[in-house]
Each structure stands twice: as C-alpha cells, then as structure tokens.
A and B are shown apart, each in its own frame.
Chain A
Amino acid sequence: DIVMTQSPDSLSMSLGERATINCKSSQTILYSSDNKNYLAWYQQKPGQPPNLLIYWASARESGVPDRFSGSGSGTNFTLTISSLQAEDVAVYYCQQYYTSPFSFGQGTKLEIK
C-alpha cells in the first residue's frame, strides 16, 4: 500500500503570507505511460465535507481561487497558497489515486496567526 505523509502537521501563518504544505508518497505516483502524477489535494473546513482543490498534482478544480497551486512529481508534492486569506483556515489533505487503496495523507491544519 502507498503511504502518504504530509508536513507539517500544523501551520500558523499571517494573513497575506505564502503557505506551503508538503506531501510525500512512499512510492512513485507518476504513471509513466501518461506522464501524470496521480495526486489530489482537498480542503476541509470545520464542520464541512472535504472539497477538491487540485488534481493531477497541479490542475486546479473549477471555481478554486488561483492563489491555490499544486506542484511536484514522482514522490514529492507541494500545495501552495500564495496569499493567505481568512477563509483558508482549514485542514488540507493530499490523496493518491495511483492504486487502490486510495490513501490520504494525515492532514495539515492551517491556522491564522
């Protein structure tokens, strides 16, 4: 099974700052036949279900603000929020869909300082 490990577990940033969340997979999730990284990012606000932000490691879901971006390849990935807004307070999860079981990272809690 592929294990997804996020860092840090929590993050406290000021409004307008750049926030970076890392996600590492225990094996490559880059499929050589299509050169795609099978990684998604979700945002979960308190009391709400998760919401898809990014898929294929860097493709932004429709309606997601462009301050959210994803990068990385192979086993190392990053979610970046370019300028933190108050409404970005949430827990962020990465998920691999390269192979079943489709595992999630443990989550990164983002707070405003």
Chain B
Amino acid sequence: SQQGEEDPQALSIQEGENATMNCSYKTSINNLQWYRQNSGRGLVHLILIRSNEREKHSGRLRVTLDTSKKSSSLLITASRAADTASYFCASFTSPGGGTSYGKLTFGQGTILTVHP
C-alpha cells in the first residue's frame, strides 16, 4: 500500500489565493520531501523537512510536519498560473538509521490548477 496519501486529489483556485495540500504517511520517517511535476515532465524537488522540524519556509512555500499525526502540509501563498502542476509528497524511511539508502515512498499527488 502507498505510504503517503494526499488530500485533496485535485484543487482549483484563482490567482492570488493560497493553496494547501495535505499528506499523511504510515510509518516513522527520517524526512519528508515535496516535489512538483508539470504535465508530462519529470519531478522537481521543492523542499525537505526533517523529522525533528515542525515548519520550514522557502519563498512562497511553507511546509509543516506533525509527526504525532504522521502528516504534513504544503502551503503555496499568493498562487500564480505558473504554479499549475501536480504536487507529490515523498516520505523517506531508513531502517538502518542515518541517511544511507532507505526508501523514498511517493504519495499519489494533488493536481493543482490556478486560474488566471
């Protein structure tokens, strides 16, 4: 089964509005990452939040992590038409600890459409 579940599956907003996407996971993680995918293209890394962090910012992106609820959220503020894409969370687990190879498991993604 998928480690990550994302909500909502699709989100449609107007330019200038904020977009919030949520991600849940099932097991303890080392970090959680968010990626963006334009239609028919590869994924691009947006931001990483470690298990001991609660919030992180990067430009118009804000990510939160609640390890007690096994959930994360990605907020895009003042959205633009160019933000239209699919957004994926990916949870990293390393059975042996540390950052040697573990497993990066992707959620099913949220399709964000920003209307001009």
A binds B: no
Q: Residues on B close to A: CB < 8 A?
A: none
